[in-house]
């Protein structure tokens, strides 16, 4: 569902409104409920399909060779392409930064069944 941005001339606030389809008539302001919204020009993002991302990775022979050789920098680059710019946890970001500098993270072991 598209997100449209509006400016309310009544309460002087910027609002984001989810609408199922484009409508020429502006909705009422979600904050003050007045019919004083004005549509703003805003940017948008087109999400690539997983197939497009995989095709991009497979067409990069240097990246593919790095992945085949377990190169931490190639693994970090692959991860960036697959995540599509999503925000990640700080610990994960730290690991990715270390991999970008060529450091392979230590293998993780599963907790033993006896651990509470």
User: Does the predicted model carry a pTM greater than 0.75?
Assistant: no
Strongest mean pLDDT among 40-44, 75-79, 99-103: 99-103
- pLDDT reported for residue 21: 72
pLDDT at 69 over 90: yes
Main-chain dihedrals φ then ψ at residue 14, nearest 5 degrees: -90, 130
Which residues, other chains included, contact 31 with Cβ-Cβ below 8 Å and sequence gap of 6+?
A: 8, 11, 13, 15
- Asked if residue 108 lies in contact with residue 91, where contact means CB atoms within 8 angstroms, the answer is no
87, 86, 84, 64: which is closest to 75 by C-alpha?
Answer: 64
Q: Which residues of 99-109 are buried (b: 16+ CB within 10 A; e: fewer)?
A: beeeeeeeeee
pLDDT at 56 over 60: yes
Question: How do the domains of the chain map onto residue ranges?
Answer: 3-39, 50-100
- pLDDT: is 26 or 43 the higher one? 26
């Amino acid at each position: 569902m598209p997100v449209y941005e509006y400016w309310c001339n009544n309460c002087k606030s910027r609002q984001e409104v989810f609408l199922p389809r484009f409508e020429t008539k502006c909705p009422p302001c979600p904050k003050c409920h007045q019919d004083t919204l004005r549509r703003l020009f805003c940017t948008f993002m087109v999400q690539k399909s997983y197939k497009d991302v995989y095709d991009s990775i497979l067409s990069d022979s240097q990246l593919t060779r790095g992945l085949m050789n377990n190169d931490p920098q190639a693994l970090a680059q692959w991860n960036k392409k697959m995540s599509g710019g999503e925000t990640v946890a700080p610990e994960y970001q730290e690991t990715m930064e270390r991999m970008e500098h060529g450091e392979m993270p230590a293998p993780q072991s599963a907790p033993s069944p006896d651990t509470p």
